[in-house]
Amino acid sequence: MRPAITWVIVGAVAVIVVFASLDALLSARDEPTPSAVTATAVTTTRTEPDRRTTQEIERTGNSWARLFGAGRTCNEFMVQPACEQVACERVSGELIENCTRVSSKVQRSFAAAEAQDVVIRGTWAAARFSNGETVLFREVGISGSWAIVGVGAGRKFFE
């Protein structure tokens, strides 16, 4: 009888060891890696953006403004929905109801305009240009680049 109890105890200890090992392995996966900690730190500091981020938004905005002011209604600095809103027309050619096109006068005013004030809130930003117009940006992709998502939008960022 004694050998049977010994085997039961040995088996129980073995099962406990196996479960403890599995728990240790699975717990190790849950701990953040150094890159995850860095990414978290970058995200949390985004509430108080660094000068580099502000400059990137200004550069993107100024490059976009030159193209937009020269007549390129949709360009590489804009996301598709922003292109559609500016033209009040879907890619399919369908007109967007209750949409007001950006006037050609406003569009031309961007030719010499520069981003002056930038406000960043998380993955959203707004820039006020020297022509008085406001443009809304969104951080896109894993590279952290910024794209225009709205022209004449983002005024509330400055309130």
pLDDT digits (tens, 9 = 90+) for 133-152: 999 999 998 778 999 999 98
Both structure tokens of 91: 């890619």
CB-based contacts of 82, cutoff 8 Å, min separation 6:
74, 147, 148, 149, 150, 151
- Per the DSSP assignment, residues forming a β-bridge with 140 are 145
Compute the Cα dihedral for 117, 153, 138, 60 and give only its sign.
negative
Greater model confidence, 17 or 74: 74
Distances (CA, A) of 44 to 40, 48, 64, 122: 6, 8, 28, 9
Domain segments of the chain as ranges: 2-43, 48-158
Question: How, if at all, do strands 124-129 and 134-140 pair?
Answer: antiparallel
CATH 3.10.450 fits 48-158, yes or no: yes
Of 41-50, 93-102, 107-116, the poorest mean pLDDT is in 41-50
